[in-house]
Structure 1
Amino acid sequence: MYYPYFRGKQFELITIREMATLMAENNFTPIIEPVREALGGLEKTLKAICSAGGRAIVIVNPHHGDHQEDGANISQLLRDGYSCHESIVAGILLRNDMNVEDVLTCYSSHADHHPVFIHAGFSAPKLLVAELASEMKNIKNVFIEDHAKLLYRKHFVSSDRVLVQDGFNRQRNADYPEIEEFSDLHVTYSDLGMSGFGDFLTVGDSYSESGGPAYAVALHLTFIDPDQDDMMYIYHFVSDTKDTPTDPAGKFGQALDKLIKKLNTKRSKLLETSAIKEFRELHAKGHFPGLGYVKKLSMKHHIETLAAYLG
């Protein structure tokens, strides 16, 4: 049903581990694109998913990070540890630098792991469907919306289809508005002929190795508004200090003050998730846990919000 797309950095993997039980209970399937050379964190995460009775899609040919030239170690991890786990499947990223032969080679080499196609710029859908005509109805196809428009997706209408949309409008932290639309896909995906939907959570599809100095700190928190046809919106609580890379703790405190004030109005429509409770505790203690940890709380809140809505 819900397919959150994660890049496999440290706090993304920690988020998946901490949310593994909730995601399994709600039939959520994380898509993981490993971006770090060391795969210990990924393996630990996959074990947590299996222990919770969940499912995951692991991309074997990442576009970003340390494995973009060669995903052999990821494939080997799946073969060595998860050849008997039908819940852990191989994701094949169909990019604009691949032809049909490339796709078929990758598909056949991962046949034991029930490959899922993730369409992210591939330009020969008609030829691919023709080559796999007898098998296509059994292949799940995940479409990154910005790279796979309606005409492209129509080629795969006989298959199980999932649409992933980037609802996060990335910009400089200092420039975010207080609130903006995030997505309606959780409401409309079935109307689009999809069996599931996904997003890039509150991180977005844009990838960078590091975040750089934080001239401003922003907390990104989603909510679903029942008064607006269940549209999902996102708050951006931005620090007042925006002109220096120093004092991230102080800037976090400023942004957190704004979140707590909004919550205390009782009109924020933010769900009181475990992540929100932790934000309240951090405010009460005056503690700054680091920006990676803050990003993790934002992602956890997003997952919990969708679980409550869809459940």
Structure 2
Amino acid sequence: MYRPYFRGKQFELITIRETAPLLAAKGFIPIIEPVREALGGLGKTLQALVAAGSRAIVIVNPYHGDHQEDGGSITKLLTDDYLGNDAISAGILLRRDMTADNAMACYKSHGDHHPVFIHAGFSEPKALATALGDELQRTANVFIDTHATLLYRKHFDSSERFLVKDGFKRQKNADYDPVEAFSDLHVIYKDLGMSGFGDFLTVGDAYSEGGGPAYAVAIHLTFIDPDRDDEMYIYHFVSDTNSTPTDPAGKFAQALAKMMAKLDSGDSKITETTAITEFRELFEKQHFPGLGSGPIK
């Protein structure tokens, strides 16, 4: 049902490993686009998922990162360790620079890895659907919302279909409103003829290799609002002192204090997950765990 899209940086892979039992229990299947040349972290992550009884889709032709020109080492990893293993599927990323012939060649070369098409700018849907023929109904197709109109998706009506939408409106941390809408796909995906849905979590689809000190620190937290048709919203808890990149620990404490105030208000609508428990422990200990790498804010 749920297909969260991850770029395979260190923190994303750690997140998947640590939540592997939860992913398995809920039937969530992460899509992973490897972006780092070294695949050791990816290998450990896939092992953790399989051990937990979970599944994953690994993109074999990434658009971003170190494997952009050649995904051969990713294919080798899948062949060496997961050939014939239904838990790990090869994701074929369909971009604008690919033809239907390119897509079919990649599909056939990964036939033993239960290939899944990820539609992200591809311009020949009719030709691909025609080339697949009777195999189309046995394929799975994931559509990135901004690149796949309703007319585009109709070519794959007979297949298993999933829609991924980026609900995270990225901007400078200091500029976020306290709360805003995130997604309603989990409510309406069946009405759209989809078998499931996905998103880019609270990271967004934008990819950046750069990073730097944060002028503002923001903690992003999603929640479902039962008073608004179960639509998902996102809180942005932002630090107050944002004029210089100094004192990230102090800024984190400010953002965390705002989060705790909302949690303890009684009207946050936030589910008390294990992640919330960790945030509470950080607040009680006044501990700064460090900031993950990302674009300058």
Task: State whether TM-score is above 0.5.
Answer: yes
Structure 2 counterpart of 1:78, one-letter code: L
Q: State the alpha-carbon separation in 2 of the partners of residues 138 and 266 from structure 1.
A: 47
Alpha-carbon shift at residue 163 of structure 1 (Å): 0.2
The CA deviation string for residues 105-128 of structure 1, in whole angstroms up to 9 with x for no partner, is 111111110100000000000011
Q: Which residue of 2 aligns with 1:300?
A: none
Structure 1 counterpart of 2:206, one-letter code: S
Q: State the alpha-carbon separation in 1 of the partners of residues 29 and 108 from structure 2.
A: 23
Q: State the alpha-carbon separation in 2 of the partners of residues 182 and 250 from structure 1.
A: 28
Q: Which residue of 2 aligns with 1:138?
A: 138
Q: State the alpha-carbon separation in 2 of the partners of residues 245 and 258 from structure 1.
A: 20
Q: State the alpha-carbon separation in 2 of the partners of residues 291 and 155 from structure 1.
A: 43
Q: State the alpha-carbon separation in 2 of the partners of residues 128 and 212 from structure 1.
A: 42
Structure 2 counterpart of 1:102, one-letter code: N
Superposed CA RMSD in Å reads 1.1
Q: Which residue of 2 aligns with 1:70?
A: 70
Q: How does 1:115-264 map to 2 (within 5 A)?
A: 115-264=115-264
Is 1:102 the counterpart of 2:110 in the alignment?
no
TM-score, normalization: structure 2? Answer: 0.97
The CA deviation string for residues 150-197 of structure 1, in whole angstroms up to 9 with x for no partner, is 111111001000000001011110100000000010011011000010
Structure 2 counterpart of 1:126, one-letter code: K
Q: State the alpha-carbon separation in 2 of the partners of residues 163 and 45 from structure 1.
A: 24
The CA deviation string for residues 211-235 of structure 1, in whole angstroms up to 9 with x for no partner, is 3220100000000011111010000
Runs of 4+ in 1 over 4 A off after TM superposition: none
Aligned to 1:57, the other structure's residue is in SS state strand
Aligned to 1:291, the other structure's residue is in SS state coil
What is the percent sequence identity of the aligned residues? 70
Alpha-carbon shift at residue 293 of structure 1 (Å): 9.2
Is 1:13 the counterpart of 2:7 in the alignment?
no
Is 1:46 the counterpart of 2:46 in the alignment?
yes
Q: Which residue of 2 aligns with 1:286?
A: 286
Q: Does structure 1 conserve the Cα–Cα contact (< 8 Å) formed by 2:211 and 2:293? A: no
The CA deviation string for residues 127-152 of structure 1, in whole angstroms up to 9 with x for no partner, is 11111111000000000001111111
The CA deviation string for residues 37-59 of structure 1, in whole angstroms up to 9 with x for no partner, is 10000000000000011110000
Q: Which residue of 1 aligns with 2:93?
A: 93
Structure 1 counterpart of 2:139, one-letter code: I
Q: Name whichever structure is richer in helix by fraction.
A: 1
Q: Which residue of 1 aligns with 2:268?
A: 268
Q: State the alpha-carbon separation in 2 of the partners of residues 42 and 142 from structure 1.
A: 21
Q: State the alpha-carbon separation in 2 of the partners of residues 92 and 266 from structure 1.
A: 45
Structure 1: unaligned runs, 5 residues or longer: 295-311
Alpha-carbon shift at residue 84 of structure 1 (Å): 2.8
Alpha-carbon shift at residue 246 of structure 1 (Å): 1.5
Q: Which residue of 2 aligns with 1:30?
A: 30
Q: State the alpha-carbon separation in 1 of the partners of residues 51 and 154 from structure 2.
A: 37
Structure 2 counterpart of 1:249, one-letter code: A
Q: State the alpha-carbon separation in 2 of the partners of residues 93 and 85 from structure 1.
A: 21
Q: Aligned pair count?
A: 294
Q: State the alpha-carbon separation in 2 of the partners of residues 183 and 215 from structure 1.
A: 28
Q: Does structure 1 conserve the Cα–Cα contact (< 8 Å) formed by 2:84 and 2:112? A: no
Structure 2: unaligned runs, 5 residues or longer: none
Q: State the alpha-carbon separation in 2 of the partners of residues 291 and 102 from structure 1.
A: 40
